[in-house]
Structure formats: structure tokens, C-alpha cells
């Protein structure tokens, strides 16, 4: 067999001598061998194909959120998700804090003088909600569990007035019956079993679409497992599942609140009320993704997926 030198091979392949040596050292040139410090390369050897350089840019919305969270990058989609979701989710539950005040707390971890009184609980729960979104971003890939649901609740309510009440049971299921929208919910002694059943049913199918996530959310809110904080925890769980299943997430704004409540109420009779409300919210988040150049695809009218 005839052999070429590194110099001859480099000229034939149109690459540098250093690249030829690297290919040989990596074992990518079949039949090449060393004599002392000199590479002997078969004349029939073919130039190795270049390996595609791994694209270090995150491929999914979840990866982008994790990268921006770790770098604490200001002005990105992580920054916007934190402020918009926290503001709107807290407002649905009665917080009087403005969007600007919410943004200020997130960016500076402080709150300055305001034109109106702000409840301490509003501030605490706002900061706690930021932490909850971070937890969702960190753990979304793992899926839902009883432990994660309880940890979200504990994180949300820690340091609040409610947390100082012995009967409130922060991070644990409710001790006293409650209702939502005038409708009865699961009795305290039934909650654990109902949550286990819900997680089992939801986890039975691996492929999830928007309706699956909404079905879970409706059932979770009807169980109403905690004394308070069920709505915010439930919406955080929807965010988690959207990110895990590469579905474009959505934020229920104050303008959509009444439509959202009607959708929860009427789900068994007409799924379109809640679905359409969430699709409207999803349209807003699509615009946010487009602004930040994050691609998504539409599989059908009810399924918008993140690449």
C-alpha cells in the first residue's frame, strides 16, 4: 500500500497540516499510523467529514428560561414571565400591588414609597411567587408529584400572615372545609386520596396536549387541596406542564379573570369557554416569544408547541 505524508495529504484535501494531524490522532483516518513522530496516511484514505458543531443555543423555551435564570439576564423572556405572571396571578387573588411595583420588587428586591398602602402579605407573596416560578423552571422536566405541589404551596405562603396561624397548615393539605365560587370542594379527609387519584389519572398518558393540562387544572381547583393559595399553585402547575410538554404557556390576566372563572365553572358542559380563554392568553405569549425570536409551531388549532 502506498502512503502519503501529512503535507501531501493536507494539499490533497485542501486543509491545514494541523487538521490532518488532529484527524489522525483522533483515529478518524482509516489505516493511518505513526512512525516515530511522522504520520503515514494511506493514499486511498478519504477526508473525514466535519462534525457539526454543537449548537450551544438553547432549543426549547424551558432551556432558554433556565439559561436566563442562571445568568440573571435582565430584559429577557425570563424577566418578563416572572413579572407578568406574578402580577396577574396575585391580582386574581386580590393583591392591590401594581404591575410597576411588582416589577420594582423583582428588579431591586425592595419597595419604595407608594401612593397607597401596600399590604405586607402582598409583598411577601410577590417575592415568594418569583421563587415558585424559579422552582417550576428548575423542576419542570421531572413532572408533577404530591411533594412538588406541597413545596410550591409552602414556598408561596412562607412568611405570610397565614403562615403564623396554626390551623392554616402551610405546605400541607387543608384542615377545614372550604369552597370556591360558592361551590363545595373536597373535604379535608378526602384531599390526599383525590390528589393521588388525579396524579395517577393524569400521568397515565405520556403525550399531553392543552386540553389535558386544562382538565388537570379544573380537577385540581375543584379539589382545592389547601386552605388558601390553590389558584396560584394551580396556575404554576399549568406553567410547569406547558414547559415540560413544549406547549406555549399562557398567563391569565386580570382582563381574562371572569372568563377564566366561567371556564372553570362550565368545563364539564362546555370546554370551549376555558380553552378559548387560555388560547387568547396564549396568543399574547406567542407575541412575547416572537419578540424574543423563540420559535413555535402550530400542530392544530388547540396545540401550539415550542420547538
Catalytic residue list: 224
234 annotated to a ligand binding site: yes
Distance between terminal CA atoms of the chain? Answer: 50
| Residue 14, marked binder | no
Contacts of 276 (CB under 8 A, 6+ apart): 259, 263
Q: Is 183 annotated as a binding residue?
A: no
Q: Is 184 helix (H, G, I), strand (E, B) or coil?
A: strand
To the question of whether residue 121 is assigned a binding role by annotation, the answer is: no
**What cell was used for 86?**
406574578
Name the nearest CA neighbour of 139 among 158, 157, 152, 127: 152
Consult the annotation and say whether 235 binds a ligand: yes
> Is 231 assigned a ligand-binding role in the annotation?
yes
Is 53 part of any known ligand binding site? Answer: no
Residue identified by cell 414547559 is 243
Going 291 to 296 to 301 to 303, the CA torsion angle's sign is negative
**In which region does residue 227 sit, left (phi positive, over 0), alpha (psi from -120 to 50) or beta (all else)?**
alpha
Q: Which of 159, 191, 158, 188 is nearest to 175 (CA)?
A: 188
Q: Is 284 annotated as a binding residue?
A: no
Residue 261 known to bind ligand: yes
115 is in an annotated binding site: no
- Binding site for ATP: which residues? 228-235, 260-261
- Binding site: which residues? 228-235, 260-261
Amino acid at each position: 500500500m502506498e502512503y502519503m505524508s501529512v503535507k501531501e495529504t493536507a494539499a490533497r484535501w485542501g486543509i491545514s497540516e494541523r487538521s490532518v494531524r488532529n484527524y489522525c490522532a483522533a483515529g478518524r483516518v482509516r489505516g493511518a499510523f505513526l512512525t516515530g513522530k511522522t504520520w503515514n496516511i494511506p493514499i486511498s484514505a478519504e477526508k473525514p467529514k466535519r462534525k457539526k458543531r454543537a449548537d450551544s443555543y438553547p432549543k426549547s423555551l424551558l432551556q432558554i428560561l433556565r439559561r436566563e435564570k442562571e445568568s440573571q439576564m435582565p430584559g429577557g423572556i425570563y424577566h418578563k414571565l416572572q413579572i407578568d405572571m406574578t402580577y396577574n396571578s396575585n391580582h386574581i387573588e386580590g393583591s392591590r400591588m401594581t404591575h410597576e411595583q411588582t416589577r420594582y420588587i423583582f428588579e431591586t428586591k425592595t419597595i419604595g414609597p407608594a401612593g397607597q398602602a401596600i399590604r405586607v402579605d402582598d409583598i411577601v407573596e410577590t417575592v415568594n411567587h418569583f421563587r415558585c416560578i424559579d422552582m417550576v423552571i428548575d423542576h419542570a422536566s421531572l413532572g408533577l408529584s404530591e411533594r412538588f405541589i406541597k413545596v410550591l404551596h409552602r414556598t408561596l405562603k412562607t412568611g405570610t400572615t397565614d403562615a403564623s396561624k396554626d390551623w392554616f397548615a402551610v405546605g400541607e393539605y387543608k384542615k377545614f372545609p372550604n369552597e370556591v365560587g360558592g361551590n363545595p370542594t373536597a373535604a379535608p379527609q378526602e384531599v390526599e386520596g383525590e390528589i393521588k387519584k388525579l396524579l395517577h389519572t393524569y400521568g397515565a398518558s405520556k403525550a399531553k396536549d392543552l386540553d389535558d393540562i386544562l382538565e388537570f387544572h379544573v380537577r385540581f381547583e375543584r379539589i382545592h387541596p389547601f386552605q388558601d393559595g390553590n389558584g396560584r399553585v394551580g396556575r404554576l402547575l399549568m406553567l410547569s406542564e406547558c414547559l415540560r410538554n413544549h406547549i406555549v404557556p399562557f398567563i391569565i390576566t386580570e382582563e381574562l379573570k371572569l372568563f377564566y372563572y366561567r371556564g372553570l365553572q362550565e368545563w364539564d358542559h362546555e370546554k370551549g369557554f376555558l380553552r378559548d380563554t387560555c388560547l387568547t392568553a396564549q396568543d399574547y405569549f406567542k407575541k412575547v416569544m416572537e419578540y424574543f425570536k423563540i420559535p413555535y409551531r402550530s400542530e392544530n388549532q388547540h396545540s401550539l408547541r415550542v420547538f
